[in-house]
Amino acid sequence: MAVYVVTYKLSAPEKEYKELEKVMKSFGSYSKRFDSFWIVDTYHSAKDIKEKIFSALSEEDQLFVIETKKHWSSRNTPDGMVKWLKSSRRTF
């Protein structure tokens, strides 16, 4: 398993992306405290994540998926995200 940061820019932000949220939640444990920025702890690869998410996006939407490691830093980050990242359940 690994922890990934997933971020995206939607070409039509006013459009409802209910399927996107459903796909994101399907990866397992996640934290979402910012618009279009998720952290997921999953057994899927970055490529698998990209392909599953892209099926819920339009062709013009942008997507970036990157594996993150245990060493990270933040400032003024919502407490829930920091607590989630510091959890002993994370699989960095």
Whether 92 is covered by a domain: the verdict is: no
25 SS3 class: helix
Number of domains in the chain: 1
Q: What is the pLDDT of residue 18?
A: 85
Largest CA distance in the chain: 38
Whether 28 is covered by a domain: the verdict is: yes
pLDDT digits (tens, 9 = 90+) for 1-54: 999 999 999 988 767 788 899 999 999 999 998 989 999 999 999 999 999 999
pLDDT digits (tens, 9 = 90+) for 31-45: 998 989 999 999 999
Whether 62 is covered by a domain: the verdict is: yes
| pTM over cut 0.85 | yes
Query: What is the domain range of residue 51?
Result: 2-86
Task: State phi, psi for 52 to the nearest 5 degrees.
Answer: -65, -40
Closest Cα partner for 64 from 75, 56, 55, 53? 53
